[in-house]
Amino acid sequence: MHHLDLTLPNPAENLALDEALLEEAEAAGEPRETLRIWESDRFVVVLGRSSRAEAEVDCDACRALGIPILRRPSGGGAVLVGPGCLMYALVLSYRLRPALRAVAVAHRTVLGRMAAALARLVPELHCEGTSDLVLGERKVSGNSLRANRGHMLYHGTLLYGFPLELVARCLPMPPRQPAYRAGRSHLDFLANLPVRAAALRLALCAAWEAGEPCHDWPRAAVAHLAAARYNDMGLT
């Protein structure tokens, strides 16, 4: 598997790169798998493909804080990302991993592998809900996917040094909640992994045997997608 550790200069480009890697794999005509790792240097609210900003984001608070609101191509709810939140994206081939075509199997397989690798650093880590990784009873990772014909994009977050109080300022209680949340506030529900970012990066690469560095990436596609789909939604 290819390994791309790359954070681009602005939030729109960073979101666009995940989709561009998926498109590049689809166009290759053969299985092409990549693990990308990145971390935004500024705070950004990212909506899911079908999220409604008026229901999932405090737009006034984001406007006051200068936090842009963007939308990703995968499902799930709104999240706040930024410094202290490591991001990863996997482009996985259905030809190599046909079982992943079933969404429930995809979540279980990918998160199970992630949990097994990270459990060496945090033994209490496990899966909960549809697509969460949990430390004890607190969420440390949210994940979502987008399926194309030949490949899947599976991406998510790993909190390790994130200001959780900022989540409470920018995001109201979500309209959809997993049962294990039990109505808890953001501050009572979220947690940071007690692991440094460098160790998380190494664990991710080991989990997916991503040892082949990727020195090239789809620059033209990123520029096009960032301009066409990923600009600030004008809510801030």
Q: Which of 112, 142, 144 is nearest to 127 (CA)?
A: 112
**pLDDT band per the 50, 70, 90 thresholds, residue 35:** very high
Q: Where are the domains of the chain?
A: 2-228
One-letter amino acid at 69 equals I
pLDDT value for 120: 87
pLDDT value for 236: 43
**What is the C-alpha to C-alpha distance for residues 19 and 193, in angstroms, rounded to an integer?**
27
What is the rounded average pLDDT of the residues 7-32?
96
Is the pLDDT at 234 greater than 50? The verdict is no
- What does pLDDT average to over the chain? 95
The per-residue pLDDT for range 110-148, each reduced to its tens digit, is: 999 999 999 889 999 999 999 999 999 999 999 999 999
Q: Give all strands of the β-sheet with 69-71 in edge-to-edge order.
A: 69-71, 44-47, 79-81
Is the Cβ–Cβ distance between 171 and 56 less than 8 Å?
yes
**pLDDT band per the 50, 70, 90 thresholds, residue 230:** confident
The per-residue pLDDT for range 177-213, each reduced to its tens digit, is: 999 999 999 999 999 999 999 999 999 999 999 988 9
Is the pLDDT at 151 greater than 90? The verdict is yes
**What is the C-alpha to C-alpha distance for residues 151 and 56, in angstroms, rounded to an integer?**
29
What is the rounded average pLDDT of the residues 30-56?
96
DSSP string for residues in 79-137: EEE-TTEEEEEEEEETTT-GGGGSHHHHHHHHHHHHHHHHTTT-TTEEEETTTEEEETT
SS3 state at 200: helix
Query: What is the CATH code of the structural domain delimited by 2-228?
Result: 3.30.930.10
Give the HSE-up count for residue 37: Cα atoms under 13 Å, Cβ half-sphere. Answer: 19
Query: Cα–chain-centroid distance for residue 82?
Result: 11
What is the rounded average pLDDT of the residues 206-232?
91
b/e map of 191-201 (b: 16 or more CB within 10 Å)?
Answer: bbbebebeebb
